[in-house]
Amino acid sequence: MSADYLRPYEEAVEESGAGFESLLWRNKDYQLKRFQVLCEVASAGLDKPDAPASLDKLAGRVIADMGSGTADLCKWLNDHDVEYGKYVGVEGVTGLAEASRKRIADEKLPEAEIIESDFAADSAIFDTIVKNRGVELIMFSGSLNTFEQDHAVRVITSAYKALSSGGVVFNFLSDLVREPPSGDTGPAKRFNTLAVFQQLSKTASKIALRHDYLEGHDATIGMFV
């Protein structure tokens, strides 16, 4: 039986097929804005503190997209001319993993592969992708939304500890939103933003929080080695 955090996505795939609707995003614009902020936070954290942030800092990087869905982040990187070294998508829902492999082939997205794995249940996945794929930037976009907060923090901590360089960047629904677009977040859960930041700051001394987009509906945290 699948874990509780995967079940909403599996049910959506069964009902609607392996498309955008099955990713359970509010809308496409929200998804794309989150990708932009993830990459901006990653770029700033990977650069020297006194240097302006630039997506050029992602050039040549091996990027892991945890809970990659239909490889939309890979598409975004290509559409914005980000010359990453390699894209490694990790997806735990079989239908979405298969759909993303097909998309990568059909759209000829370069230097991309998909690994089918439940990153929360596979205790070795982060060490594996770092050691065997050379991953140096681990991203989670929306893939923690159905987790309990403590579980999400444990996953992020495991990902960070697997790295010897680079960083982990992730987003989540924030409890600091003043006027949420909807009181109903479905299977997604809002996290205590300041508590998550405080807890993770004990693990990483170089840590960033962004809360200036999507009207505070969402937050992004980056942790860098």
Helical ranges in 72-215 per DSSP H: 72-79, 94-106, 125-133, 149-161, 193-201
User: Rounded CA gap, 98 and 116, in Å?
Assistant: 9
C-alpha R_g of the chain? 16
Report yes or no on 103 lying in a domain. yes
Which of 87-91, 133-137, 173-177 is the least confident region?
173-177
Report yes or no on 1 lying in a domain. no
The enclosing domain of 165 has a CATH number of: 3.40.50.150
Q: Summarize pLDDT for 158-169 with one digit per residue, the tens.
A: 999 999 999 999
Report yes or no on 101 lying in a domain. yes
Domain span holding position 194: 7-224
pLDDT greater at residue 51 or residue 16: 51
Q: Summarize pLDDT for 33-59 with one digit per residue, the tens.
A: 999 999 999 999 998 777 777 899 999
Continuous segment of H or E residues that includes residue 45: helix 28-46
Report yes or no on 2 lying in a domain. no
Report yes or no on 57 lying in a domain. yes
Report yes or no on 130 lying in a domain. yes
Report yes or no on 36 lying in a domain. yes
Report yes or no on 147 lying in a domain. yes
pTM of the full structure: 0.87
Q: Summarize pLDDT for 162-204 with one digit per residue, the tens.
A: 999 999 999 999 999 887 655 656 678 899 999 999 999 999 9
The number of domains in the chain is 1
